[in-house]
Amino acid sequence: MTELSSRHLLGLKGLNYDDISLVLDVASAFREVIERPIRTVPTLRGWTVANLFFESSTRTRISFELAEKRLSADVVNLSAPASSASKGETLKDTARNIEAMRIDAVVVRHAASGVPHFLADAVDCTVISAGDGQHEHPTQGLLDLYTLHEQLGDLEGKRIVIVGDVRHSRVARSGIWGMTTMGASVAVCAPPTLLPSDLDAFPVDVYNNVDEAIEGADVIYTLRIQLERQQGALFPSIREYMAMYGINRSRLERARPGCLIMHPGPINRGWELDGDVADDPQSVILPQVTNGVAVRMAVLYLTAGRGTSALQKIGEPRGLGSEI
Amino acid sequence: MSRLVLSGGRLIDPTQSLDDAVDIAIEDGVVAEIGKGLSGAETLDVTGLIVAPGFIDIHVHLREPGFEYKETIETATAAAVAGGFVGVVGMPNTNPPPDTAAAVRGLMKRAESASCRVFTMGTITKGRQGEELAEMGDLVDAGVVGFSDDGDPVNDAGVMRLALDYCTMFDRPVAVHAEDRSLSNSGHMHEGAVSAELGIPAIPSVASDVMAARDLLLAEYTGGRLHLMHMSTAGEVSLLSRSKADGIKTVSGETAPHYFTLTDQAVHSFDTNAKMSPPLRSQADVDAILEGLADGTIDAIATDHAPHASHEKDSEFAAAPFGIVGLETSVGISYDTLVHSGILTPSQLIEKMSCNPAVICRIDGGTLKPGSRADLTVIDPDRRWTVDPAKFRTKGRNTPFAGRELVGDAVMTIVGGEIRFDERG
């Protein structure tokens, strides 16, 4: 199988086992590319990708930009304050204008759920979600799966515990869909106010007590305490959160020996995760970041590589491995 | 005006306990006679059709003055008569709001050439700010049929208590948008499985229930007349039912067709035509609304017709304004969902859309007793049609019912003896 079942990447809920496996396989090839002395391949030469980031982000945008450039695509960046959104232009008009400039793919991050879907209906080019509101962050989910697969092999039956503000987390949602699709057993752990209002919507076990939750876990995935997305104090204090949910060395003893520690970044060192745990060999937080570029290269290759543009591109997307 | 006879139809008038194959004659703008084999200068054939007292929609956003790009009195009332309504009650979130007699009189002047009767709520508070009572006495003088701050709740219980108290001398309902905003999470849809999955900030049903409970208790305490608008939750139905069972006679409630036909599942595709306030709820709430209609807890069906410009609704879900249109689909959906399925008899539906709305707002209508205004709605119970927003007379195209196939529709509307809409076919 050499094609994804959808030309856009809007979320992991819609991706099946084969789709995800394809992305991980292709990412594996690109993972090797980025370790070479010259980290670029001409695969998407002649393609233009616009990064539309309506929500502040440094690392995701840089990761996408690196992925795009390493595929030799031309890149344009648009961030919210500089965009016409502040001048009152509707999202639809912004999208249409960008399409009018003949863009092949749009990578979009927005504070409102459903924006990638809206754009996919509004424009002709490929749409890749870099995160929409609290809904999904599919490339994060995919790079997490790549990292898990790299470390643990087949995920069937592995126990993954997501700790933190699941309620407001698109990373958690994408993670839940992706991980369960690949056969893992997923649990979420948080105070009730930080869990989704309706847990029946998700195929997960639920815990409020982190010591119970991480008993025998293969992976602990900690989420950032998001002070900028939460409205109102949904937990009384950082102090209480740290005491009840912070992952520290002594807590870790309950997990399986060699339990992986993951985090989507940026870490609040000392809050959800103790510094020494974050720096531990069991922590794969930095590998997640490296893998992120390769996974995004794979996503771009598998989606943007087949736009509906009638123009003959200079340097048609070539097979992997062809270079200088 | 010469005598006009509607002949061959089934005349249903709950106010006269009438449901019979009789003719009705209207003359000089009033009902002249009801009987068999009537004759007149002009005869309209209504064979196979139901003739009812004119339907009145007591919850319509006319958008004029201030938001004429969304709708005007002209387009709203054209839509109203096409939907079978002889009268509409405008909501006060216009600019300026009807919080002074001058504003109300200005609105009434604009409505003089409307296709149907136009009434308006006055605001409960000055500027709908929820702080000080509007000059209710002056507003009553200017002709308001009730008071509402719709669009918004009255947050302060003390102010609501005052409004209900003060209003006891006016025999006008205080119509409330029951929502405790401190519970609403600045939400865009119902809090449930769909919002949890989509990660959309959500409004729990308890936000409406808490406020409905508060306002019902205040109505009981003060003896004031309270009307719960756009009921959407099982909780609201249960609370209103209990108030009535406790013998409180001054409370009433309305619901809209979308609350007994659609659930939050409609939001799954991020369709902004499924976004309104209060939001589409769960199946359990829909079932409760249907029961509430059947057992008489809910007195009226009103559309909460809320047109928006296409570009406003054609956006990401969070940015889209709340509201859908309803004037041209209400009778069809209500007849199809409630009467054809046996939940209500035609007579009961007519009570909910004509008689009770008239009583709630103290409007001289909702009846075809000889001598009363000749406001009539004629329904074809077997008319098969498909909802097509492109054919709407309202400016708004924001309906979740596009493409829906229905059986039953209003086919003729007579206002004050004049035929304002006729598609008997």
Q: How is residue A180 written in tokens? A: 């369960």
Answer yes or no: do A94 and A157 share one domain: no
Which has the closest alpha carbon to B214: B260, B155, B135?
B155
Whole-angstrom distance, CA of residue A185 vs CA of residue A183: 7
Q: How confident is the model at residue B106 (pLDDT cuts 50, 70, 90)?
A: very high
Answer yes or no: do B202 and B131 share one domain: yes
Which residue among the candidates B180, B285, B304, B409 is catalytic per the annotation? B304
Answer yes or no: do B185 and B286 share one domain: yes
pLDDT tens track for A129-184: 999 999 999 999 999 999 999 999 999 999 999 999 999 999 999 999 999 999 99
Q: Which of B1-5, B118-122, B382-386 has the lowest mean pLDDT?
A: B1-5
Cβ within 8 Å, pair A231-B185: yes
Predicted local confidence at residue A305, as pLDDT: 60
Domain coverage including residue A211 = 138-287
Answer yes or no: do B117 and B233 share one domain: yes
A86 in a structural domain: yes
* B122 DSSP assignment: B
B368 in a structural domain: no
Q: Name the residue among B200, B314, B315 with its Cβ closest to that of A113.
A: B200
Predicted local confidence at residue A65, as pLDDT: 97
Cβ within 8 Å, pair B193-A201: yes
Please count the residues of chain B.
425
pLDDT tens track for A73-118: 999 998 765 555 556 788 888 888 888 999 999 999 999 999 999 9
Q: Indicate whether B303 pLDDT > 80.
A: yes
Backbone angles phi and psi of B153, in degrees to 5: -85, 170
**Residue B156: active-site member:** no
B320 in a structural domain: yes
Answer yes or no: do B197 and B95 share one domain: yes
A48-53, strands of its sheet edge to edge: A74-79, A48-53, A105-110, A126-132
Answer yes or no: do A196 and A158 share one domain: yes
Q: How confident is the model at residue B168 (pLDDT cuts 50, 70, 90)?
A: very high
Q: Name the residue among B195, B196, B316 with its Cβ closest to that of A118.
A: B316
What is the rounded average pLDDT of the residues B351-369?
98
Predicted local confidence at residue A2, as pLDDT: 63
Answer yes or no: do A90 and A183 share one domain: no
Give the count of domains, chain B: 2
Predicted local confidence at residue A232, as pLDDT: 56
ipTM: 0.87
Predicted local confidence at residue A214, as pLDDT: 96
- Report the number of secondary-structure helices (H) and strands (E) in chain B: 12, 20
Predicted local confidence at residue A86, as pLDDT: 58
Q: How is residue B255 written in tokens? A: 């619901």
Predicted local confidence at residue A323, as pLDDT: 37
Bridge-partner residues for A218, per DSSP? none
Domain end marker among B306, B334, B360: B360
What is the rounded average pLDDT of the residues B263-283?
97
Answer yes or no: do B19 and B146 share one domain: no
A123 in a structural domain: yes
Predicted local confidence at residue A14, as pLDDT: 86
Whole-angstrom distance, CA of residue A191 vs CA of residue A197: 12
CATH number where B263 lies = 3.20.20.140
Q: How confident is the model at residue A58 (pLDDT cuts 50, 70, 90)?
A: confident
- Report the number of secondary-structure helices (H) and strands (E) in chain A: 11, 9
What is the rounded average pLDDT of the residues A28-52?
92
Answer yes or no: do B132 and B171 share one domain: yes
| CA–CA distances in Å: residue B84 to residues A221, B229, B337, B347, B424 | 59, 21, 17, 16, 12
The answer to whether B256 and B304 are in contact (CB under 8 A) is: yes
The more confidently predicted of residues A80 and B210 is B210
Give the count of domains, chain A: 2
Cβ within 8 Å, pair B197-A91: no
Cβ within 8 Å, pair B199-A112: no
Q: How confident is the model at residue A227 (pLDDT cuts 50, 70, 90)?
A: low
pTM above 0.80, yes or no: yes
User: Can you tell me whether residue B182 is helix, strand or coil?
Assistant: helix
The whole-chain average pLDDT of chain A stands at 88
Instruction: Sort out which chain A residues have CB atoms less than 8 A from B193's CB and list them.
Output: 198, 200-201
User: Can you tell me whether residue A57 is helix, strand or coil?
Assistant: coil
Own/partner contacts of B272-275, CB < 8 Å, gap of 24 or more, are: B272/B313, B272/B314, B272/B315, B272/B317, B272/B320, B272/B398, B273/B313, B273/B324, B273/B398, B273/B399, B273/B400, B273/B402, B274/B189, B274/B400, B275/B188, B275/B189, B275/B317, B275/B320, B275/B322, B275/B323
Answer yes or no: do A179 and A259 share one domain: yes
Q: How is residue A309 written in tokens? A: 């543009």
A311 in a structural domain: no
Domain coverage including residue B406 = 4-50+373-422
Query: pLDDT above 90 covers what percent of chain A?
Result: 72
Answer yes or no: do B123 and B40 share one domain: no
Q: Indicate whether A119 pLDDT > 60.
A: yes
The whole-chain average pLDDT of chain B stands at 97
Strands B55-60 and B85-90: what pairing?
A: parallel
Predicted local confidence at residue A94, as pLDDT: 87
Candidates B186, B205, B316, B317: best to mutate against A (most CBs of A within 10 A) is B316
A26 in a structural domain: yes
Q: Name the residue among B191, B195, B270 with its Cβ closest to that of A117.
A: B270
Predicted local confidence at residue A98, as pLDDT: 84
B365 in a structural domain: no
What residues in chain B have their Cβ under 8 A from chain A's Cβ atoms? Answer: 185-186, 191-202, 204, 269-270, 311, 314-319
Answer yes or no: do A283 and A153 share one domain: yes
pLDDT tens track for A259-314: 999 999 889 888 889 999 999 999 999 999 999 999 999 999 999 765 333 223 33
Q: Indicate whether B375 pLDDT > 90.
A: yes
CATH number where A297 lies = 3.40.50.1370
The answer to whether B116 and B77 are in contact (CB under 8 A) is: yes
Q: Indicate whether A251 pLDDT > 90.
A: yes
The answer to whether B140 and B362 are in contact (CB under 8 A) is: no
